[in-house]
Amino acid sequence: MERPTLEAMLDAAMGVERNGDAYAVAEDHGLSVYIGEPGQAMEVSEVIALKLHPTFCEATSREHNAVYLVEYSSLHGLCVRLPSGGGGRRAGFS
């Protein structure tokens, strides 16, 4: 993936706020990034912040208590998990 593609995805993602080259994920949202080759990607879950550098991305994960430095070409996609609950109808009995 190229940096402009990642920026467009992050700008469109709900619960992700941009501040210059840095992105913060809202506390009630979840964000995962996928790193590696197609069909063999590793999921980095519970990403709380991303910083875009000229040639690589810095992803901070709460779950792993780690910072991943990744070339844009190794990024494949994002998954945004919206807050759970929040009403709505569910199958079953009241």
pTM of the full structure = 0.82
The domain segmentation of the chain, as residue ranges, is 3-77
Q: How far is CA 48 from CA 16, 27, 39, in A?
A: 9, 8, 25
Per-residue pLDDT in tens (0 to 9) along the chain, 94 residues: 999 999 999 999 999 999 999 999 999 999 999 999 878 889 999 999 999 999 999 999 998 789 999 999 999 999 999 887 654 444 554 4
CB 10 within 8 A of CB 18: yes
Q: How far is CA 57 from CA 8, 70, 93, in A?
A: 14, 5, 47
